[in-house]
């Protein structure tokens, strides 16, 4: 018996490491979570950040960023009631701080989904402790970005013109315009990132619900968690949905900044009209996004004492990403000059010389020193793991990346083709207040986020736990049963009491203290062909899915159907608008040509595929389901913390004995709660 369990444990650990593919050596996963931790300990550390009274530094930050946000709101309201003229925009500099800030914030927003989606697909386990926070940062950065184009159009009550809605004006968005692609790209990016973020939060919201002491917290987190109960059948669909959304978000990360760059690249302005722009912008976005993650992560890890969760190895990896993307950005700066020289076009050459040595030359050199020179520090390992060096460098990189956008936009515009229409841009106080206000809003939202929601994924961190600290080794099981929670009874006692009163077949729930013993029980139940079995676990344990002999989730078919629907809807809609209802000739092409429809058709495909994936997940799991009889079972609230359960419908005494033999800590019939 003991041997069998030990074997099961070993094999299950192998499966775990296999399933999550550590880099060749299983022990390495431990390096992303230093110190000795248990399941309960992970839950406790991360949940506590949202449950204890706010620390003093939080209140200072909250009040300060709140005041700055109010300043930004004042600037926006002043602009809306007065007009865009309150900014320093002029002819020829028609875009300046507004679009600089838009591109800056959209760039910041790239790190989150890159970390959560692309690194997930590459099985980079170090993403686990930073992905939640980075995703939240992404959402808030996109919100900050959205402010600028919204108010810079002037008449914000006409914003609905962006949407292809039938209207009395019989006017439609021009789907061959990169500005419309941009609205679709950013809208889709925000929506899919939000779904991805929320999906990741659901199991953690259930944890907070089950830990909640006050009725208000119970109800709020109860509704937000959609009745998540850690069912292995649900985890199977959940993991599939998570992987699918990661796959959908990955091309989005690349597409958003490519489309933003086309706002510039498709114009015929020297300095903007360059084919290198899409990759150049994407590299810059990842560069600035990682810098912002570091700027925020380093103080957070210090203030919440999360050094075990965000280790020096994390910092090291992020510094390497900074170095790599910094080099790409530096290469792009060089290539721009080369292309200008090689084009043999006087105007093109002038623009780039003017960039470096003209009236705005100082901003060009700030950009180069912050973005190209500063990251060179990270060739040295000592600097990559030094939090202070990284913190200062990440701030400098963000300054540099802000200036990169300023340089691209303002220096290209301020020297028009005719010297008679040359001009200079000088920001007004409204420009500056609006920019500072966006930073205020960003920090305000982040501060609220770290207090309200788990800033690190609780369920995913549990997958990083090294096996030494896993509970449920045969020797530990018995003692855990006695000492765990109040009312915990030993397995022997409960089976005796049960067998004496087991009058009819009814649903039976058994608690296990480890994945190993639970999967052993599941395997035995499956061997006997017992139906109506489900298991419950605090994290997606793949060996449980295997032990239950569950088939693959059918969710990919939902994704495919949603994607095809979005693609068809997008193409048909645009063909109707520009081929039939509002024929328009752009770039000398026939009305209704398809090439210009590609970006929006892509965004529509991804958007509807994401909707279908999440909708399919909820449908297949039967969620939201706020009430379930299992929630009334003793200790079941620990299923989102450190306990494992199995439920068997219409169980008889033999089944009860089987579960007890497999190592159940506690056996309970389900009390039907009226």
Partner 1 sequence: MPTIFTPRADWWLRGIGGALIAGLVLALGALYYYASPKFTRVGYAPAQPVPFSHSIHAGRLGLDCRYCHVHVEDSPHATVPPTQTCNNCHTLVRNTDPILSQVREGWDPDPRKADAKAPIPWKRVHRVPDFAYFNHAAHVKAGVDCTSCHGPIAQMDVVRHAEPLTMGWCLDCHRHPVSTEQKVNPPQSCQGCHR
- Which x/- pattern over 225-244 shows residues binding partner 1 (rule: CB under 8 A)? --x-----------------
Give the whole-angstrom CA distance, residue 582 versus residue 19. Answer: 53
Pick 169 or 595: Cβ nearer partner 1: 169
Give the whole-angstrom CA distance, residue 130 versus residue 61. Answer: 21
Give the whole-angstrom CA distance, residue 511 versus residue 525. Answer: 15
3-state secondary structure of 426: coil
| Residue 634 lies near partner 1 (rule: CB under 8 A) | yes
Under 8 Å between Cβ of 83 and 476: no
Position among 631, 657, 661, 669 found at the interface with partner 1 (CB under 8 A)? 631
- The DSSP result for 514-583, as a single string, is SHHHHHHHHHHHHHTT--SEEEE-SS--HHHHHHTTPPPPSHHHHHHHHHHHHHHHHHHHHHIIIIIIS-
Pick 460 or 534: Cβ nearer partner 1: 534
| Residue 170 lies near partner 1 (rule: CB under 8 A) | yes
Tell me which residue has tokens 């965000």. 310
| Residue 154 lies near partner 1 (rule: CB under 8 A) | no
| Residue 589 lies near partner 1 (rule: CB under 8 A) | no
Pick 455 or 639: Cβ nearer partner 1: 639
Residues numbered 171-230 forming contacts with partner 1, rule: CB under 8 A: 171, 209, 218-219, 222-223, 227
Minimum CB–partner distance for residue 171 and partner 1 (Å):
7
Stretch that binds partner 1, among 166-174, 284-292, 449-457, 474-482 (CB under 8 A): 166-174
Q: How many CB atoms lie within 10 A of CB 517?
A: 27
Stretch that binds partner 1, among 85-93, 119-127, 231-239, 618-626 (CB under 8 A): 618-626
Question: Any idea what the Cα angle at residue 520 is, between residues 651 and 242, rounded to 5°?
Answer: 95
Please name every residue paired with 508 in a beta bridge, in sequence order, or none if there are none: 648, 669
Tell me which residue has tokens 């087991």. 502
Of the candidates 460, 344, 494, 439, the one whose C-alpha atom is nearest the C-alpha of residue 148 is: 439
Give the whole-angstrom CA distance, residue 417 versus residue 631. Answer: 72
Of the candidates 477, 449, 488, 538, the one whose C-alpha atom is nearest the C-alpha of residue 41 is: 538
Q: Which two structure tokens, joined as six digits, stand for 190?
A: 């925000």
Minimum CB–partner distance for residue 589 and partner 1 (Å):
17
Stretch that binds partner 1, among 38-46, 57-65, 66-74, 631-639 (CB under 8 A): 631-639
| Residue 91 lies near partner 1 (rule: CB under 8 A) | no
| Residue 626 lies near partner 1 (rule: CB under 8 A) | yes
Position among 11, 476, 627, 650 found at the interface with partner 1 (CB under 8 A)? 627
Minimum CB–partner distance for residue 592 and partner 1 (Å):
16
- Which x/- pattern over 435-474 shows residues binding partner 1 (rule: CB under 8 A)? ----------------------------------------
Give the whole-angstrom CA distance, residue 495 versus residue 486. Answer: 18
Minimum CB–partner distance for residue 637 and partner 1 (Å):
6
Pick 171 or 531: Cβ nearer partner 1: 171
- Which x/- pattern over 644-673 shows residues binding partner 1 (rule: CB under 8 A)? -----------------------------x
Pick 476 or 626: Cβ nearer partner 1: 626
Position among 507, 635, 640, 647 found at the interface with partner 1 (CB under 8 A)? 635
* Count of chain residues binding partner 1 (CB under 8 A): 25
Of the candidates 107, 672, 657, 185, the one whose C-alpha atom is nearest the C-alpha of residue 408 is: 107
Pick 524 or 634: Cβ nearer partner 1: 634
Pick 164 or 299: Cβ nearer partner 1: 164
Cα torsion 35, 121, 542, 17 to 10°: value is -50
Minimum CB–partner distance for residue 115 and partner 1 (Å):
32
287: left (phi over 0), alpha (psi -120 to 50) or beta: alpha
Pick 351 or 639: Cβ nearer partner 1: 639
Please name every residue paired with 509 in a beta bridge, in sequence order, or none if there are none: 647, 668
Pick 592 or 624: Cβ nearer partner 1: 624
Which residues of this chain interact with partner 1, rule CB under 8 A?
167-171, 209, 218-219, 222-223, 227, 624-628, 631-637, 673-674
């Amino acid at each position: 018996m003991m041997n069998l369990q030990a074997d099961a444990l070993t094999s299950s650990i192998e499966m775990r490491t296999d399933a999550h593919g550590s880099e060749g050596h299983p022990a390495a996963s431990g390096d992303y979570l230093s110190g000795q931790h248990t399941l309960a300990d992970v839950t406790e550390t991360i949940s506590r950040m949202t449950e204890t009274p706010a620390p003093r530094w939080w209140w200072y930050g909250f009040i300060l960023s709140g005041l700055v946000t109010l300043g930004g709101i004042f600037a926006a309201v002043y602009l809306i009631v007065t007009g865009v003229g309150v900014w320093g925009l002029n002819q020829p500099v028609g875009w300046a701080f507004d679009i600089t800030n838009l591109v800056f914030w959209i760039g910041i927003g790239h790190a989150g989904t890159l970390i959560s989606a692309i690194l997930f697909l590459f099985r980079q386990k170090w993403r686990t402790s930073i992905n939640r926070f980075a995703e939240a940062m992404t959402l808030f950065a996109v919100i900050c970005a959205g402010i600028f184009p919204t108010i810079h159009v002037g008449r914000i009550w006409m914003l609905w013109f962006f949407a292809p809605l039938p209207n009395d004006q019989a006017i439609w968005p021009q789907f061959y315009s990169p500005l419309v692609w941009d609205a679709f790209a950013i809208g889709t990016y925000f929506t899919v990132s939000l779904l991805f973020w929320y999906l990741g939060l659901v199991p953690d919201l259930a944890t907070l619900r089950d830990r909640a002491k006050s009725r208000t917290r119970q109800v709020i987190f109860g509704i937000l968690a959609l009745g998540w109960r850690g069912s292995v059948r649900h985890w199977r669909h959940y993991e599939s949905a998570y992987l699918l959304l990661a796959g959908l978000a990955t091309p989005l990360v690349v597409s958003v900044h490519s489309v933003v760059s086309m706002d510039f690249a498709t114009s015929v302005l020297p300095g903007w009209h360059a084919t290198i722009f899409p990759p150049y912008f994407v590299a810059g976005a990842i560069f600035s996004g990682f810098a912002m993650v570091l700027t925020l992560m380093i103080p957070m890890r210090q203030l919440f004492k999360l050094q075990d969760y965000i280790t020096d190895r994390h910092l090291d990896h992020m510094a390497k990403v900074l170095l790599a993307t910094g080099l790409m950005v530096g290469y792009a700066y060089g290539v721009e000059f080369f292309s200008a020289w090689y084009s043999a076009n006087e105007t093109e050459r002038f623009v780039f010389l003017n960039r470096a040595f003209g009236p705005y030359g100082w901003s060009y050199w700030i950009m180069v020193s912050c973005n190209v020179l500063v990251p060179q520090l990270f060739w040295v390992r000592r600097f990559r793991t030094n939090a202070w060096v990284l913190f200062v460098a990440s701030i400098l990189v963000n300054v540099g990346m802000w200036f990169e956008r300023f340089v691209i936009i303002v220096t290209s515009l301020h020297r028009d083709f005719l010297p008679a229409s040359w001009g200079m841009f000088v920001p007004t106080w409204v420009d500056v207040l609006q920019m500072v206000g966006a930073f205020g809003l960003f920090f305000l939202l982040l501060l609220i986020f770290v207090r309200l929601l788990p800033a690190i994924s609780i369920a995913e961190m549990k997958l990083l736990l090294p096996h030494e600290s896993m509970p449920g080794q045969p020797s530990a099981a018995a003692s855990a049963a006695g000492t765990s929670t109040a009312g915990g009874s030993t397995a022997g006692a409960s089976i005796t009491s049960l067998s004496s009163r087991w009058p009819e077949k009814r649903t039976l729930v058994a608690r296990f203290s480890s994945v190993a013993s639970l999967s052993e029980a599941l395997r035995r139940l499956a061997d006997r062909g017992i139906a109506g079995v489900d298991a419950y676990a605090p994290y997606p344990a793949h060996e449980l899915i295997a032990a239950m002999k569950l088939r693959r989730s059918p969710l990919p078919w939902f994704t495919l159907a949603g994607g095809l629907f979005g693609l068809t809807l997008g193409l048909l809609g645009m063909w109707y608008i520009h081929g039939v209802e509002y024929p328009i000739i752009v770039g000398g092409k026939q009305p209704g040509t398809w090439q210009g429809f590609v970006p929006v058709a892509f965004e529509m495909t991804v958007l509807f595929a994401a909707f279908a994936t999440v909708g399919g997940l909820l449908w297949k799991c039967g969620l939201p389901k706020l009430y379930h009889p299992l929630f009334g079972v003793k200790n079941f609230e620990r299923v989102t913390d450190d306990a494992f359960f199995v439920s068997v419908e219409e169980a008889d005494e033999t089944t009860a004995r089987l579960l007890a033999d497999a190592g159940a800590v506690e056996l309970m019939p389900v009390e039907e709660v009226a």
